[in-house]
Amino acid sequence: MKVLVTGGMGYIGSHTCIQMLGAGITPVIFDNLYNSKQAVLQRIEKVTGHRLDFVKGDIRDKALLTKTLKTHAIDAVIHFAGLKAVGESVEKPLEYYDNNVNGTLVLVAAMQEAGVKSLVFSSSATVYGDPASVPITEDFPTSATNPYGRSKLMVEECLTDFHHANPDWSITLLRYFNPVGSHPSGELGEDPQGIPNNLMPFVSQVAVGRRDCLSVFGNDYPTPDGTGVRDYIHVVDLADGHIAALENVGAKMGLHIYNLGTGNGSSVLEMVKAFEAASGKQVPYQVVARRAGDIAECWADPSKAMQELGWKALRSLDDMTTDTWRWQSNNPQGYPDI
């Protein structure tokens, strides 16, 4: 099977390409390198021993996408490409709607033209808004509180309408919880540009000495230690979830929706402790005000993915923190510019 991976040079996409090659699936990467570096390709090739096809392009370029789908005889698409910073999306909403929503519409139009009818889309647990209870199942109500989240919700709704009109397609919406960790080789990992927005990259940059101190956003939530609780999932488990989706429903007509999470919640302070244990480094922190838009707790009920895809997350919190530390300590400044 040949799969076009939009955004395949990014954090989750690059790990997914590695797992695909291990499963005998051939990825073709399509990425404009807006938030990733050319060095990722070399790292994937180094870890897997395979050469990869990479097309540098923007998902809003329909002609290039259609040509790529046709010339590579693509069977299915995994669509990671998009912008993902919540704060930035509040400042630049049109860029988010253009890239994430319009970009997906152009991709689907190109797939129609090329006759490719299998799509796996990177959605997010953010579409559950502030859930009434945890764990969260796929039938919970959806909502959005910022343009990033709304762009994911809009894409889900567009794809649902599109599927009503085109029931012979297979469309899979994967709602990720909190992806963390790195490839165990230490060659690939998360490499945010500028100040990290998310907890784990911030913690690992403090541990490696790039930043002085973590700000813990509030310790007055109704949670056991007062800090926010999330469902952190190892990025390699998440990558395997895509392969399970391709193999189990990628050729089945229908609109399929799955949570990809572990089913366990961990607090900010638990993550800091786990990271200190894995790295042997101190992570100094100070408690500051809550971050606007944050919720107290969020974790998945992943049983639907287990039942229908035969997939579950296997890696522990220790794997997540140990692997993150290996990547961060081997690559303190992230990927090199080449």
List the interface residues with ligand NAD, window 99-118 (CB under 6 A).
99, 103
Shortest spacing between CB 24 and ligand UD1, in angstroms: 30
The one-letter code for the residue type at 30 is F
Q: Any residues with CB less than 8 A from the CB of 109 and at least 6 apart, and which?
A: 62
One of 5, 18, 21, 81 touching ligand NAD (CB under 6 A): 81
Shortest spacing between CB 83 and ligand NAD, in angstroms: 6
Rounded Cα distance, 4 and 1, in Å: 10
Contacts 24+ apart (CB under 8 A), 161-165: 162/108, 163/254, 163/255
Q: Is the peptide bond before 135 cis (omega within 30 degrees of 0)?
A: yes
One of 79, 230, 234, 281 touching ligand UD1 (CB under 6 A): 230
Of the candidates 180, 190, 185, the residue with the CA atom closest to the CA atom of residue 49: 185
Q: Is 148 a catalytic residue?
A: yes
First to last CA, the chain: 31
User: Is 12 an interacting residue with respect to ligand NAD (CB under 6 A)?
Assistant: yes
User: Is 84 an interacting residue with respect to ligand UD1 (CB under 6 A)?
Assistant: yes
Other beta carbons within 10 Å of 109: 14
State the Cα angle at 165 between 162 and 166, rounded to 5°.
80
User: Is 219 an interacting residue with respect to ligand UD1 (CB under 6 A)?
Assistant: no
β-pair partners for 172: 120, 256
Please tell me what DSSP assigns to residue 302. -
Indicate which residue of 11, 96, 128, 148 is catalytic. 148
H helix or E strand, kind and range, residue 243: helix 235-249
Q: In the structure encoding, which two tokens stand for residue 70, read together?
A: 């046709």
* Interaction partner, residue 11 (ligand UD1, ligand NAD, none; CB < 5-8 Å by kind): ligand NAD
Q: H helices within 9-53, ranges in order?
A: 11-22, 39-48
Q: Smaller CB distance to ligand NAD: residue 84 or 234?
A: 84
User: Is 28 an interacting residue with respect to ligand UD1 (CB under 6 A)?
Assistant: no
One of 13, 147, 265, 302 touching ligand NAD (CB under 6 A): 13
List the interface residues with ligand NAD, window 189-248 (CB under 6 A).
none
User: Is 36 an interacting residue with respect to ligand NAD (CB under 6 A)?
Assistant: yes
One of 4, 7, 97, 261 touching ligand NAD (CB under 6 A): 7
Q: Smaller CB distance to ligand NAD: residue 35 or 172?
A: 35
Q: Smaller CB distance to ligand NAD: residue 32 or 142?
A: 32
Of the candidates 43, 124, 46, the residue with the CA atom closest to the CA atom of residue 79: 124
CB 30, CB 331: distance < 8 Å: no
Q: Smaller CB distance to ligand NAD: residue 185 or 197?
A: 197
* Interaction partner, residue 236 (ligand NAD, ligand UD1, none; CB < 5-8 Å by kind): none
Q: Which range touches ligand NAD (CB under 6 A), out of 81-89, 244-252, 276-284, 314-322? A: 81-89
User: Is 284 an interacting residue with respect to ligand UD1 (CB under 6 A)?
Assistant: no
Between the alpha carbon of residue 174 and those of residues 119, 125, 309, the distances in Å are 11, 9, 12
Q: Any residues with CB less than 8 A from the CB of 50 and at least 6 apart, and which?
A: 21, 44
Which residues are annotated as catalytic? 148
Contact residues: ligand UD1, CB under 6 A: 84, 86, 124, 126, 148-149, 178, 197-199, 202, 214-217, 228, 230, 268, 291, 293-294
Contact residues: ligand NAD, CB under 6 A: 6-7, 9-13, 31-36, 58-60, 80-82, 84, 99, 103, 122, 124, 176, 179
